[in-house]
Structure 1
Amino acid sequence: MEAQMVEKAVFLLREAHVARGRAVQALAEYFPGTAFDDRLRCVHEAWDRVHQGAPALHSVPSQLSEAGTFAAAHERHGLSD
């Protein structure tokens, strides 16, 4: 579970631009029952990864971000305004 907490902390720091203190609090919400020291250690490790040039989490843009694709999906699923 610690690896998952570190990955979540990396996301919070790098992608959501959350402060370190808030990341520690957020991990308690994502992983209830975890000790403060464990969450703090995971955030410190994530901070090191983010600031040492570790590879970014891979994200793929949604096809719905393109207007044509969005309109086609909208029509395909029978959604109307």
Structure 2
Amino acid sequence: MNDAQLQFVVVINAQGQYSLWPAGKPMASGWSAAGMRGERQVCLDYINQHWVDMRPRSLRENLSPSSASFQ
């Protein structure tokens, strides 16, 4: 079976970062399934559509306009 035929699961962590995980392997600690499973390119396309801000969630929240104080 070549890499294109392998099945993957799209996973996401608490910081909102996405990755691929081989289907059927125990999930790594801190990651959970994001709802997409399929061939590598299908999963990468899903990530590209859903992970539009590469910054970790904690950084996005700290830099959000609502958290800034203006004087």
Normalised by the length of structure 1, the TM-score is: 0.24
Greater share of helix = 1
Greater share of strand = 2
